[in-house]
Each structure stands twice: as structure tokens, then as C-alpha cells.
Amino acid sequence: MFGKLKEKLTNFKKNVSSTIKEKLTKEEKITKEEKIIEAEPPTQKVEEEKKSIGEKIKSLVVEREVTITEQDIKRPLEELEFALLESDVALVVVDEILRSVKEDLIGRERKLFTSTGDLVEDALKNAMRKVLSVDGLDFDEIIRTSDKPVKVLFVGVNGTGKTTCIAKIGKRLKDLGYSVVIASGDTYRAGAIEQIDVHAKRLGIKVIQHEKFSDPAAVIFDAVKYAEARHIDVVLADTAGRFHTNVNLMDQLKKIRRVIDPDLIIFVDEATAGNDAVERAKQFNEAVKIDGSILTKTDADSKGGAALSIAHCTSKPIMFLGTGQEYTDLVKFDPEWLIKRIFE
């Protein structure tokens, strides 16, 4: 997960560290030269002096601090910018990360025994915290506090993992003690009704389904009525994959939203889609106003760009990450968890 991003950030750390090391060495050299000039007369003593000079310089420099200047990190920052763009991090997020890292590092005084790498890592982590943390709803809090049944609608383009997410979340909610019903709202794709049926049977969750090509709003409406009548806690509503460019299908989604009035609309996309996923999230947010995102297939994503960008670009939190094909491959999103993953 995020292997390439990790590698690129490590390079940035190395670059800044070596720049600062060079700077220190230069200063040490100057000190050394000063010391040699002082060392008079040029006898055998000078040789001894030279040998132990390293030790002496060390103690001199220990007291010294090296200040990181804008010039020191100019090149490494340019390389970082390129690396982040290459990792599919959205432009605004790249700018925000660079701004934050710069602000944190420039003017920082690095004592000899503090590692530059640690300083840089802290600055990067801090920048990531800023772009990953947005105000928003906590999934579990919504489920706990909303009037029942809580209606959750899953939207997104084709094949991103919506149905699998519903199964995973259905299991998670059941394990937490909630009762769940699934609305088979993808009445369009061949095999979609059967697919969710298989998941639901395995998990022991009731599914409400209609005929193929029937109105998805009607199916989801029925599922809500079913849940209301039986005091079921949560309705998880599947929808057919659709592109934000398809006006008719987006209108259909707006109709579903009108009819159902969901408590949560969750946009699902695959982390591997990078910038595309972020752009789509923005479009879906404009069309139906999403409450958060789920990024799937993070197990196959080495770039990490979508994970770093999607919350900042939609101002809506990432709620979960899909980390594989098993029902348990679902991680509740926490910026610290992701940051740890990137730097561990």
C-alpha cells in the first residue's frame, strides 16, 4: 500500500538531510581550518592535533545549531512537488503540503544530534494531517445518533467497489449489533441483483429487490418501509455505477435522494484511480452532495494520491478504506492510521 509514495517521501527526507549534512560539514571544515591556523608551532604535535581534531570539532559543533534556510530546501522541495504530482496528488493538495512543509522547516534550528530526517518527517506528517483532516460526520456517530432506520446511499462510477463495500459495512454493522437491510438499488447492470443477493445470504442480511430495470428509487423506498415496519436500524442502499457525465443517470440519483432523503450519501471510488477519483468525487458532490467517501482497492494502490487528496478536495471526510476482497478488508479511516502506514 502506497509503496511508491513512501519511497518518494523518503527521498525528500534524504535530500534535505544530505543538504543539511553538507552545510554542517562546510561549517566543520571552516572550524577545522581555523583550528589548524591556531595550532603553532608546526611540530609533531600538529599531527596529534589533527587526529584528535575531529573530536574537538564535534564538541564545538554540538553547541552550534544549523538553521534550515529557504535556499537549503529549494531543490528538495521542487523534487517533492514533482514526486507528489507524479503520485497523483491533486494540485491544490500539493500546494498545501509544500506550503506547510516550508513553513515548518524554514528557520528551524537543527542541533547536531537531532536528525534532519526526523524534522522533515514531522513536517511531512504535519502537512498530511492538515490535508486529511476535514470537518465532517463520523460514520459510527451518525449510525448511533440518527433516527432509525438510518438510510445510507452508496454512489459512484462503475466497478469501483460499491456493492462490495455494502457487504463489508453490512457485516461490520451486524458485528456491532445493529440490524441491517440491503436495498438492491442497482436494477441496471446484468447480474447486480444476484451479486448482492449472494453477499447478503452469506452474511445473513435481508435484501429488498425488484425486477431488473425497475425504478431504483422504488426499491430503496420499499427497503426503507421494510426497515421502518420491523425496526431495523440501518438501510444500506446500492446503486448502479454511473459516470457523472451521464445527465440522465445523475438525474436518477437526484430523484433517489429526493424520495429517500438519505442520512448519508457515500461516494465510493478506487484509490487506484488517483486524480480521476478525486475529480469524480467533486462532480458527485456537486450533483448530489456527498457526506463522505470510501476509497477501495488501497491494497493495490502504490501512489496514495487519491487518499491524500479526496478529503481536502471535497471538504468531506474519507470514511473507510477498502483494503482487499474479503468482508473484513475494511478499515475505518483515521488520518493517523494512514500517516503511520506511509511512514512505517
Ligand X SMILES: Nc1nc2c(ncn2[C@@H]2O[C@H](COP(=O)(O)OP(=O)(O)OP(=O)(O)O)[C@@H](O)[C@H]2O)c(=O)[nH]1
Q: Which residues are annotated as a binding site for GTP?
A: 156-163, 238-242, 296-299
Shorter beta-carbon distance to ligand X: residue 76 or 322: 322
Q: Quick check: 324 binds ligand X (CB under 6 A)? A: yes
Q: Quick check: 322 binds ligand X (CB under 6 A)? A: yes
Shorter beta-carbon distance to ligand X: residue 28 or 186: 186
Shorter beta-carbon distance to ligand X: residue 76 or 156: 156
Shortest Å, Cβ 194 to ligand X: 12
- Is residue 329 within 8 Å of residue 113, measured between CB atoms? no
Q: Segment 162-191, which members bind Mg ion (CB under 5 A)?
A: 162-163
Q: Which residue has the cell 456491532?
A: 176
Element (H, E) at 338: helix 335-343
Which residues are CB-neighbours of 154 under 8 A, at least 6 positions away?
A: 162, 165, 166, 236, 237, 238, 239, 266, 268, 294
Which residue's CB atom is positioned nearest to ligand X? 241
Of 3, 107, 159, 204, the one binding ligand X by CB under 6 A:
159
Q: Segment 325-344, which members bind ligand X (CB under 6 A)?
A: 325, 329
Q: Which residue has the cell 478525486?
A: 278
In order, the DSSP letters of 270-327 are: EGGGTHHHHHHHHHHHHHH--SEEEEE-GGG-SS-HHHHHHHHHHTS-EEEEE-SSST
Stretch that binds ligand X, among 21-29, 73-81, 86-94, 323-331 (CB under 6 A): 323-331
Element (H, E) at 181: strand 180-183
Q: Quick check: 252 binds Mg ion (CB under 5 A)? A: no
Phi (first) and psi of residue 330, to 5 degrees: -140, 125
Q: Quick check: 209 binds ligand X (CB under 6 A)? A: no
Stretch that binds ligand X, among 20-28, 219-227, 246-254, 297-305 (CB under 6 A): 297-305
Which residues are CB-neighbours of 128 under 8 A, at least 6 positions away?
A: 97, 308, 335, 338, 339, 342
Q: Segment 91-120, which members bind ligand X (CB under 6 A)?
A: none
Short-list 235, 221, 234, 231, CA closest to 144: 234
Query: What does the binding site for ligand X look like in residue numbers (CB under 6 A)?
Result: 156, 158-164, 186, 189, 192, 241, 296-297, 299-300, 322-325, 329
Query: What does the binding site for Mg ion look like in residue numbers (CB under 5 A)?
Result: 162-163
